Structure 1
Amino acid sequence: MIRRRAAASALFSALLALGCAFAAPAQPASPAAPGNSAARAPSGVWYEIFVRSWYDTNGDGIGDLDGVTAKLDYLQSLGVSGIWLMPINPSPSYHGYDVTDYEAVNPQYGTLADFRRLAAEAHKRGIRVIIDMVINHTSNQSPWFKAALDPNSPYHDWYSWADKYTDLESASAAGSQAWHAAGKQPGLEQHYLGIFAAEMPDLNYDNPAVRAAMIKAGQFWLKQGADGFRLDAARHIYENFPWDVDDPVALAKNLDWWNAYRRGLDAVNPHTYLVGEVTQPTATDLAPYLKPLDAVFNFPLAVQLIDAAKSERNQGLGPTLDRSYAAYEAVGGKVIKDAPFLSNHDQERVMSQLDGNPRHMRTAAAMLLTLPGEPYVYYGEELGTLGKKPDPALREPMRWDRSTKARGETTWEAGNPANGAAVSVEAEQADPHSLLHYYTQLIHWRSEVPALRNGGFRAYPEASDHLAAWERTDGRDTVLVVHNLSGQPQTMALDAPGEPHFSHVLKQTGPGAAIHDNTLSVPAYTSVVLQ
């Protein structure tokens, strides 16, 4: 979710001490046996979990870390190779995006020992674990902020305060009120910067002590077994006000901090994975962050994928992706560093955005899971869970059983009646044609076809605006992915000048795809991979 004076570098240094000619119709992937991950290449797919809504092991109605551990076999059978835990630190809020202690676990979720056990068990299954690092701001209940209310405290400069020239009515870059009253002390009224909310005062990253403390917090979690972090509000470290947006100075300061953060974490684990929440509208705006970070969430692509699925037209998706990945490669090298997704905890769920249309949901999922980078799936997405604002309705309990009263179901928030018994793991595991099996199939494709997982990208000339098609090449193999976005069969010529000769249907989401006389026929709402 967000700064200011030039850093005193000397003090900071001191404080840092993816056959045959016509493949058989694809069958739903069978759940993998526990401990079988070594026999299968990683899919590169991440899965976002809100611990509070996941699985309850102690009967208090709130999900916990032991609940995540208990369901690792489900995640393994789904085929994901990483999980992102939304904030697990102590916090006065249900969502956790206002932290009071960066080196502790929310007691409602468990203990540090529970986290270490979760990480160890995940690693046994070939699953990486990253946690949300709410790094732009703390809670106003943080001991740091409480101490900072005293102008004479060393912690005072850990936050940003208004002076007599400050326009206290200023809006923030996040669109909310920027300055908040801290209450009156004798002869003194203080206002602090909190670009998201009064409950979330912004840290001052021009203070070397703040930088050192946050690097130390990251190092702490790496030592507990975390594999990296999802960085909340990564663009807002120095982008606080409307005039900071698109300001190259603010961007340079953001990147300087993230480079310093990377160096600090690499000292503990040089393989630390960092993915940033950078809410920008174009790939060109996202690309600069790929120098210090491993990936950034591709917000503009999420919009394009859902629009294409909903309209049943590609809307120039292929060429747009060509341009986007070219911008990424110019900064991050030949390996496409991307974190594509469809929705997350801040957005209406995909099924709701698609007006509950299950065919469009499958189309969106198939596009997402055949793209470069490391895709992210939001918990319950694979079940077709519905959810519209307000925010708690986007984060409602994961449905494991047909009955909401079954053991382990969380009850902290009432579920949407539209997400009935059929929208549950129990029901969908029993149905070989369910969305859950569809997601499992697609995720397993990435493990089985190296070019889908590691390959580059090139848009393929489409014969119709109802088709989306792209090539994926990993240096050893080239495959062609074709998605029929529409409810009518479509055909596409496979004799584009200069293109490889594709003659085999390697994978397909349903029966009927075929190649005749160098022309591909694709049934309605079907995705295929050609070799």
Structure 2
Amino acid sequence: MRISVLLGAAALGLATPAMAEQPLLPVTEGVSQVRHPDWAARATIYEVNIRQYTPEGTFRAFEKHLPRLRKMGVDVLWIMPVNPIAKKERKGSLGSYYAVSDYKAVNPEYGDMADFRHLVAAAHAQGFKVILDWVANHTGWDHVWVEQHPDWYKRNAQGELEGYHYTDLSDHHEEVWADVIGLDYSKPAVREGMIDAMRYWLKEADIDGFRCDVAWTLPVAFWDQARVELEQVKPVFMLAEADTPEMQARAFDMTYDWKLYHLLIDVARGKADATDLAKLYADPPRRYPQGAYRMTFTSNHDENSWNGTDRELYGDGADAMAVLAATLPGMPLVYSGQEDGLNKRLKFFDKDPIVWGKFDRVPFYARLLALKHGHPALESGMERGNLRLIETGNPKVFAFRRVKGKDRVTVAVNLSGAPARVTLRGIGAQSLKGWGWSITPGR
């Protein structure tokens, strides 16, 4: 992705505007070998928490929301794990979605396989793609493989199974997941068994791909192999819960943009400003293959349950941060309930349904998602020359232009609660209310 940097040039060590026009290349040499599905370039993604979406917590109950989501502009449904949940060492009354007891079965709380097939078929008929949350790193303690293939699991020095020791790549904290046990990917049989289970869902339910939980914990070679073998069934879209560039060389279409997510929280809390956002793109911590997709977001199931609601994380700046997530390079994610101002942390191990109201934020998200659909400049793949940051003279106003061919979209966002007035090159004077923004297509 070539970036012409105009914002905060001196602070970034770029001596003059003339120097700033020189191309920066925060991408690796070469191009991603992943062939993205044709429909993905300007797609938007929505995470579905079946358990909490409705009082019933079933596939059939969620299915009634499909027309509303399609009208809002959602293209891809990421459905959280649908497998049965282990009972041994279960947390809470219902357990973690990510403590699977059978990779080839459906959680009966949600319905049965026929109900899931019906949901996927209904989604396809309305123009959605469906990707399934997949937990390849670990299983629950009473997964069917524990009896069938006890040698497939990691063991401690005493040869015993133990809770999975976990380091969170997004913020590097360490903990033990006592309700799950790790699989041993040094064994070819584990890799073959996992790919077989993933292939099952492509064939039996006609899903369109996978969101792969804690993908960075597994060997990249496994994911490379999985992509090749799954593509023999049908073209797939693969999202990794990871942010390492090597994941996107051959295996995954998209990874998480955690750096942007955490920076947006700091911006909303007054701990960072436009200079920091500019630096993220001018001097990125990692360089990704050209064509790689990043997923941009202000919430998801982990962030909502463990870190806070939009209001807790962003205060009055929630919508402004959502604008940035939707218009900066990447594919924007909306989490269940965000379109209605979800005002609580959903419980992770117990029933805690979303209380739907008047869907007050649907028009806001619909406008953002429509922009994505309507402008090649907002395509998700990282490309040289696509992002150009604009000097505003105010560290509390971040402005940039997305460019592809003749298409342009210029965005300016006020990063504070105080009104601001700026003049943008090629646009002119802009008056922005506190936490306000302007989006100017065509310029």
TM-score normalised by structure 2 residue count: 0.78
| Structure with greater contact order relative to length (CA < 8 Å, sep ≥ 6) | 2
Q: Does 1:48 align with 2:12?
A: no
Does the CA-based 8 Å contact 2:268-2:314 persist in structure 1? Answer: no
Alpha-carbon RMSD across the aligned residues, in angstroms, is: 2.9
Q: Distance in 2 between matches of 1:527 and 1:392?
A: 38
Does the CA-based 8 Å contact 2:139-2:180 persist in structure 1? Answer: yes
Name the residue aligned to 1:449. Answer: 375
TM-score normalised by structure 1 residue count: 0.66
Partner deviation per Cα, 1:81-125 (whole Å, 9 max, x = no partner): 111111101113443211111112111111222222211211222
Cα deviation for residue 64 of structure 1 reads 0.9
SS at match of 1:324: coil
From the two aligned structures, give the one with the greater strand fraction: 2
Residue 398 of structure 1 aligns with an amino acid whose one-letter code is I
Distance 1:326 1:451, change over 3 A: farther
Partner residue of 1:466 out of 383, 389, 396: 396
Q: Does 1:527 align with 2:437?
A: yes
Name the residue aligned to 2:236. Answer: 272
Alignment of 1:113-124 (within 5 A): 113-124=114-125
Q: Does 1:216 align with 2:196?
A: yes
Q: Distance in 1 between matches of 2:119 and 2:399?
A: 39
Q: Distance in 2 between matches of 1:357 and 1:232?
A: 26
Partner residue of 1:290 out of 248, 252, 258: 248
Name the residue aligned to 1:17. Answer: none
Partner deviation per Cα, 1:403-429 (whole Å, 9 max, x = no partner): xxxxxxxxxxxxxxxxxxxxx1xx23x
Structure 2 regions of 5+ residues with no counterpart? Answer: 1-38, 87-93, 169-174
Cα deviation for residue 68 of structure 1 reads 2.3
Residue 244 of structure 2 aligns with an amino acid whose one-letter code is L
Give 1 or 2 for the bigger CA radius of gyration.
1
Name the residue aligned to 1:380. Answer: 337
Q: Distance in 1 between matches of 2:410 and 2:292?
A: 17
Structure 1 segments (4+ residues) deviating >4 Å: 40-43, 166-171
Distance 1:378 1:454, change over 3 A: closer
Name the residue aligned to 2:181. Answer: 201
Name the residue aligned to 1:507. Answer: none
Does the CA-based 8 Å contact 2:391-2:424 persist in structure 1? Answer: no
Name the residue aligned to 2:99. Answer: 98
Name the residue aligned to 2:283. Answer: 323
Does the CA-based 8 Å contact 2:166-2:177 persist in structure 1? Answer: no
Q: Does 1:306 align with 2:271?
A: no
Q: Distance in 2 between matches of 1:113 and 1:374?
A: 31
Name the residue aligned to 1:438. Answer: 364
Higher mean Cα deviation, 70-79 or 448-457?
A: 448-457
Distance 1:106 1:355, change over 3 A: closer
Structure 1 regions of 5+ residues with no counterpart? Answer: 1-39, 56-60, 148-154, 176-194, 238-253, 279-284, 401-423, 429-433, 496-501, 504-514
Distance 1:354 1:323, change over 3 A: farther
Distance 1:156 1:294, change over 3 A: same
Q: Distance in 2 between matches of 1:319 and 1:209?
A: 45
Alignment of 1:298-377 (within 5 A): 298-311=257-270, 313-324=273-284, 327-328=287-288, 331=289, 333=290, 335-348=291-304, 352=309, 354-355=311-312, 359-377=316-334
Give aligned pairs, total: 382
Task: Report % sequence identity.
Answer: 31
Residue 219 of structure 1 aligns with an amino acid whose one-letter code is R
SS at match of 1:121: helix
SS at match of 1:76: helix
SS at match of 1:493: strand
Does the CA-based 8 Å contact 2:162-2:181 persist in structure 1? Answer: no
SS at match of 2:180: coil
Name the residue aligned to 2:131. Answer: 130
Q: Distance in 1 between matches of 2:253 and 2:315?
A: 33
SS at match of 2:393: coil
Partner deviation per Cα, 1:390-444 (whole Å, 9 max, x = no partner): 6458x831223xxxxxxxxxxxxxxxxxxxxxxx1xx23xxxxx32321222222
